[in-house]
Structure 1
Amino acid sequence: SWTLPNRPDRFEYGGRNDKAGTKALLEGFLSPFTEFRFDVHSVTAEDDRVVVEATTHGVGPGEAEYNNNYLILFKLRDGKLFEVTESLDPFQVLAYVEQLPTT
């Protein structure tokens, strides 16, 4: 599962998703960008957990800009990815979405 620990009733990207739901969510969010960068600043691993600190920068469509800080916890089971918890600033996401053209 992939979880953004935010209230889904307040933040449309928040909550828990299965693999298919996560894929659809990421494709929908990432598709408008003409440029997107995910910069990893540190990785810490212990036992069956890996924590990644990262920042993102995206542009598009047009002049819309997105920047955020991430702390992502990956949990493994039997050597395979089992669960992801992604923490970010939801207000940065909302600020980006507000810049998108309405159709």
Structure 2
Amino acid sequence: MDRAGIVRAVFDQGWNEQRFDALAPALGTFELHVGGQHRTTDLAELEAIVGAWHEAFAELRFDVHAVTASDDVAAVRATLRGTHRGAWQGLEPTGRSIEVEHMFFFRFDGPRITHVWELLDRPALDAQLGR
């Protein structure tokens, strides 16, 4: 699978369907960069992160609009959608729908993802949740 196919699978199979078995060859240990914070994580922790989002947001789904890949980098533009039905980051369920634009950048070493940078419209997410 090429790099564009790998990152599409991260969203289609991983985030949307919560099926991570096919992603194991591409996702071992990797650096995750979100909101100015950086940490080393792995496929098992990613599964837990995705599971927590699905518990908090019914019908959670990433719609991927564009993927571009070259050499050792891939970029993704996507929209996250869902309905806030469970507790999330200290906020009790609001029943509100969310629609949040995202950009992701993936760095590869061969077929493996080594770094993921996530940029999201956090002010829009907070406003949609009534924060």
Structure whose residues are more often helix by fraction: 2
Asked if 2 retains the 8 angstrom alpha-carbon contact of 1:70 and 1:86, the reply is yes
Asked if 1 retains the 8 angstrom alpha-carbon contact of 2:53 and 2:60, the reply is no
Shift of 1:21: 5.1
The residue number in structure 2 matching 1:94 is 126
The residue number in structure 1 matching 2:64 is 40
- Percent of residue pairs identical: 26
The residue number in structure 2 matching 1:49 is 73
The verdict on how the C-alpha distance between 1:92 and 1:27 changes in structure 2, with shifts beyond 3 A counting, is farther
Q: How many matched pairs?
A: 91
The residue number in structure 1 matching 2:38 is 16
Shift of 1:96: 5.0
Alpha-carbon distance in structure 2 between the residues aligned to 1:16 and 1:26: 17
The verdict on how the C-alpha distance between 1:22 and 1:91 changes in structure 2, with shifts beyond 3 A counting, is farther
> Which residue, out of 74, 77, 81, partners 2:106?
74
Name structure 2 gaps, 5 residues minimum: 1-30, 86-93
**TM-score normalised by the chain length of structure 2:** 0.59
Asked if 2 retains the 8 angstrom alpha-carbon contact of 1:35 and 1:60, the reply is no
Name structure 1 gaps, 5 residues minimum: 8-14
